[in-house]
Structure 1
Amino acid sequence: MTGHALPMTVPAPDLPSRVRIYEVGARDGLQNEKLAVPTEVKADFIRKLAEAGLTTIEATSFVHPKWVPQLADAEALFPLVKDLPGVSLPVLVPNDRGLDRALALGARNIAVFASATESFAKANLNRTLDESLAVFEPVVRRAKDDGVHVRGYVSMCFGDPWEGAVPLRQVVRVCKALRDMGCDELSLGDTIGVATPGHVRELLSLLDEEGVPADVIGVHFHDTYGQALANTYAALQHGVTTIDSSAGGLGGCPYARSATGNLATEDLVWMLHGLGIETGVDLDRLTATSVWMAAHLDRPSPSRTVRALSHKDQ
C-alpha cells in the first residue's frame, strides 16, 4: 500500500498540539470476530501497529474465555509482545482473578470496564451498577499498590439500548467513583454511537465542574450514526488529548446490538493531521496494516480512509 496522500494542514485555534491515540483494535476490535484469529497473527498485528507509530496499544483481555472466546489466548499472546520498546500495552481485567493473571505476566497497565447504567451493568457484568463498582475497588487498589497504571472504562455514557438517554449526573457519579478508587484515567464510551457534539461538550463541562478534568479523560466514540469524528472534534475543543480508536474500524460491542464499529484510527489520523495535531503515526504504514488484517479477516476494512488510500494503488 503506497497511498502517500496527505490532507492539507490547516491548524485550528485552541486545539491541542498533540494527541495520544489509544489503539483498541487488537482487543476491542478482535474480540467479536466469529472466526478465531491465530495468536501469532494478533502478535504481528500489535507489532505492525507499533511500527506505524502507535505507542498505546490495548493488547488483550483477561476475561474468562467463556465470555470472550476470541481472547482466550491472553496468556500466550502477551509474552510475545510485552517487550516492544516504547509501547504501552494495557490489558483489560474484569476482577481479582484477571488481575492476578495479568500481573503474573508482567502487565504494568490495566483497564477495568464499568457501566454508567444499571441495564448494561446487568447485561455485561451480571451485577447492579453499585455491585460492579464494588468488585472493581479492590482490583484498582491492588493494582495501584503495585505501581500499575489503571484506566477506568465507562460504557453507555451517552445512551443505552434499554434505557435510552442517560442522565449526565449519573455518568458523573460513576466517573467520580472510579477516580476515588484510584483510576489514573477514564475513558468515556459512546457504546451505541448516539452522542452528538453538544452532548459531548455538556458532559465534559459537567465533569470539569465536578472535579474530573479533561487531562484525565479519554473518549471512545462509535460511528453508528456517523458522528464519531464530529464528537472527537468537540472533545478536542474541550482540551481532551486521549482519543480511543481502532485500526481499520474493527470492532463493536457484543452486548449492544445496535453498536456498529469503533472510530477508525486512520479516519482519526487523517483529521488530526489536517488540523496540524501531532500523533506520531505514519498513516501509510497504519493503512497497510489494516489492509493486511482485513485480508486475514477475509473482508474489507470499514474505514473510509483505508479504502480511499488503498484504492489509489489499484
Structure 2
Amino acid sequence: MTEAVEIVEVGPRDGFQGIGPFIPTETKLSFLERLVGAGLRRIEIGSFVSASALPQMRDTPEILAACARWPTLRPQVLVPSERRGREAAAAGARDLAYVLSVSDSHNRNNVRRSPSDSADEYARLLDGLPPGTFVRLNLATAFDCPFEGRIGEAQVLALLDRLVPMKPDAEICLCDTTGRADPAQVGALFAAAQARVPQARTWAFHAHDTYGLGLANVHAAYARGVRVFDASFAGLGGCPFAPGATGNVATEDVVWLFERMGVATGIDLSALIPVARDGAAIPGGLPGGRVREALSTNPDACAAARLT
C-alpha cells in the first residue's frame, strides 16, 4: 500500500441540503450509523445556517448532539459566518469547516457579503474558538464560478495570502463548486497554492462530478500530494447557490479508485454499497456515480477493489 488517504463523507450535509422533502432526523441518524459502520470516520453531518435558507439543515444541532453515540466519529459541521461558527461551537462542535467563496458573485449570492468581509469574519471567529477546535477552510469556487466563469489562479492565491497566516494549521480545501474544473487546472492550482503558502500543513479537495471529470480531478489532486478528499455517498449533492451544479463525487467511486490503485482508505466497500443504494432512493435526491450500480449486480466484486 502507498500512503493512505482520508475520505471525508459530506453526504449528510452537501448531499442532503438541496433535497426538498424534509428527511426525518431519525432517518439521517440511521444513515450516519451505517456510514460509520462502513468505516467512515470524519463525516460532515450538517451545517449551521439559516433554517429559512436551507430548511433541510434545521436539525443539525440535534444530529450533532446524537453523534456522541459513535465514539469513532468526528462530526464536522459547515459554517458560513462568524455568527454561525459561534453557534456551532456553543452547541459542542469541535470540527468546523468555514466556507467562503473566491468569487465575489457567488459569495454575495451565498452569504450576502464580499469575500473580504467573509475573511474578516473568519479572523474574528478564530479568536473566540474553544481550545482544541479543528478548523477547515473551504474555498468555494476556487476553480470556477456559476456567475463569473473560470477563476484565475491569482485570485485564489491572493485570498490564500490573506487567510492562511490567520491559522497556518487549518486544513485548506479547494472546492470545485460547479464541477467544471479539469485535471490540468486542478493540478496547476494545487501546485501554485502549495508553493505560495508552504506554511499550510494540510490540503484537501472537494470535487463535483457535474461534467464527469470528478474522479479524474481527484486523481490530479492526489498526484499533487493531496491526501484528504470530500465525497458523498450515492453521489448526492449539488450547491443550491450554484445553478446547474450536480452532485459530489460518489464516495463509493472514490473508494474504488484508490483501493484499485493500492491506496488504503479504511472503508469497507461491501458495507458502503448498500448505504449508497438506499441513499440513491431518497425522495428528491439526485444521485450520481457508477460503482454503486456496477457492484449492486455483483456484490462479490467488492473484493476486487483491493488488489493487494
User: Scaled by the length of structure 1, what TM-score is found?
Assistant: 0.90
Structure-2 residue corresponding to 1:59: 45
Where does 1:1-314 land on structure 2 (aligned, <5 Å)? 16-143=2-129, 145-182=130-167, 184-212=170-198, 215-297=201-283, 301-312=287-298
- Note the C-alpha offset of 1:40: 0.7
Distance 1:45 1:212, change over 3 A: farther
CA distance in 2, matches of 1:132, 1:104: 20
- Note the C-alpha offset of 1:140: 2.3
- Note the C-alpha offset of 1:213: 6.5
- Note the C-alpha offset of 1:219: 0.4
- Note the C-alpha offset of 1:200: 1.0
**Count of aligned residue pairs for this structure pair:** 298
- Contact 2:171–2:200 (CA<8 Å) still a contact in 1? no
| Aligned AA (1:34) | G
- Note the C-alpha offset of 1:300: 7.8
* SS of equivalent to 2:136: strand
CA distance in 2, matches of 1:24, 1:76: 17
* SS of equivalent to 1:80: helix
| 1:159-212 Cα shifts (integer Å, max 9, x gaps) | 112211211011122223332222611111111111111111111111121124
- Contact 1:91–1:107 (CA<8 Å) still a contact in 2? yes
CA distance in 2, matches of 1:213, 1:245: 26
User: Scaled by the length of structure 2, what TM-score is found?
Assistant: 0.91
* SS of equivalent to 2:277: helix
* SS of equivalent to 1:75: helix
- Note the C-alpha offset of 1:299: 6.4
- Note the C-alpha offset of 1:215: 4.7
- Note the C-alpha offset of 1:118: 0.8
Structure 2's unaligned 5+ residue stretches are: 300-308
* SS of equivalent to 2:191: helix
- Note the C-alpha offset of 1:298: 6.8
- Contact 1:17–1:276 (CA<8 Å) still a contact in 2? no
- Contact 2:236–2:286 (CA<8 Å) still a contact in 1? no
CA distance in 1, matches of 2:108, 2:285: 33
| Aligned AA (1:229) | L
| Aligned AA (1:291) | R
- Contact 1:116–1:154 (CA<8 Å) still a contact in 2? yes
- Contact 1:28–1:252 (CA<8 Å) still a contact in 2? yes
- Contact 1:245–1:265 (CA<8 Å) still a contact in 2? yes
| 1:244-275 Cα shifts (integer Å, max 9, x gaps) | 11011010100111211100000111110000
Bigger RCO (CA 8 Å, 6+ sep): 1
CA distance in 2, matches of 1:213, 1:234: 22
| 1:108-133 Cα shifts (integer Å, max 9, x gaps) | 11111111111111111111121121
Structure-2 residue corresponding to 1:5: none
- Contact 2:237–2:286 (CA<8 Å) still a contact in 1? no
* SS of equivalent to 1:100: helix
* SS of equivalent to 1:89: strand
Structure 1's unaligned 5+ residue stretches are: 1-10
Identity rate of aligned residues, in percent?
36
